[in-house]
Amino acid sequence: MNDIVGILPAAGMASRLRPLRYPKELLPIVFALDRSSGRARPVVAAEYSLTAMREAGIEKCIVIVNENKTEILKYFGSGAELGMKLVYAVQSKPTGLPQAIRAAQEWLGADYVCLTLPDTVFRPRRAVGQICEELRSSSGDLVLGVFPTAEPQNLGPVRVAADGRVVEVQDKPPATDLLNTWGMAVWKPRFTALLDQTVARWEAEQGPATERPLGEIFNDAIHAGLNVRAVCFEDGAFLDVGKPEGLSAIVLEGPEW
């Protein structure tokens, strides 16, 4: 059985949260109580996704950073406190998610890959495990975790057929009839190869600073005949805490921690 390797892209500049002067991935989003000691500790944004991956059985994650975000390495270190192995790859210019994933290419090999975002909170947290199970148990090449949202125009709405196939992925559409967004993804090496080829082509045609959305490559996968599927969490939730509106909306409590 193929191992699943996590990818956590944390090289962004957090421009939406200025004048924030430290990585948004280290923003405390909740204080967790250790019932045995009675002590509380802060849980930072990136820890939410890492914990969800660990609970899904993912033991290794590649964290993508830039040269100015060494605080993330200092905070999480080897990942031992999370029960994971963390390794770090550098994306010198944070030009988007496709390039961030490609920065981890040499560590992926024939592994399956699970992408979660370091500045989002989602429910249920077991969603990561469910999309991984869907990838393993189906003939899918790529599986998206899809969540309801009231602001699809700011995110990535997904059109899903009745049989679970993904028909279309939009990116921040000015108008849409969809009230959902993709929030995580897991895939097999066939999609890794397609992403690598696509980003290489973009850079050859438009230069290395080209910034285009990952949803564009999801659509390329559909058009190339890959089996792209979705698991929809109709009663779930998805918040982007990498912007002020997301931070003001977030409250975590109870069994989530």
Percent of the chain with pLDDT strictly greater than 90: 64
Q: What is the pLDDT of residue 65?
A: 92
- Provide the pLDDT confidence category of residue 214 given band limits of 50, 70 and 90: very high
Name residue, tokens 């390794």: 87
Name residue, tokens 């982007």: 240
d(CA 194, CA 200): 10
d(CA 101, CA 116): 11
Name residue, tokens 């069994």: 255
The model's pTM is: 0.89
d(CA 120, CA 239): 6
pLDDT digits (tens, 9 = 90+) for 42-57: 888 899 999 999 999 9
Contact 91, 118 (CB under 8 A): no
- Region 219-232: mean pLDDT is 98
| Amino acid, single-letter form, for residue 30 | V
d(CA 219, CA 98): 13
Domain holding 43, by residue range, is 4-256
Q: What is the pLDDT of residue 253?
A: 47
The DSSP code for 165 is: B
Q: What is the CATH number of the domain that holds 236?
A: 3.90.550.10
Average pLDDT, the chain: 87
Quick check: 228 pLDDT over 80? Answer: yes
pLDDT digits (tens, 9 = 90+) for 56-102: 999 999 999 988 888 899 999 999 999 999 999 988 777 889 999 99
d(CA 101, CA 220): 16
Quick check: 254 pLDDT over 50? Answer: no
CA angle 233, 235, 236 (to 5 degrees): 60
Partner residues linked to 231 by β-bridges: 145
Kindly write down the DSSP assignment for every residue of 201-212, as one continuous string.
Answer: HHHHHH-TT---
Q: What is the pLDDT of residue 93?
A: 77
Number of compact structural domains in the chain: 1
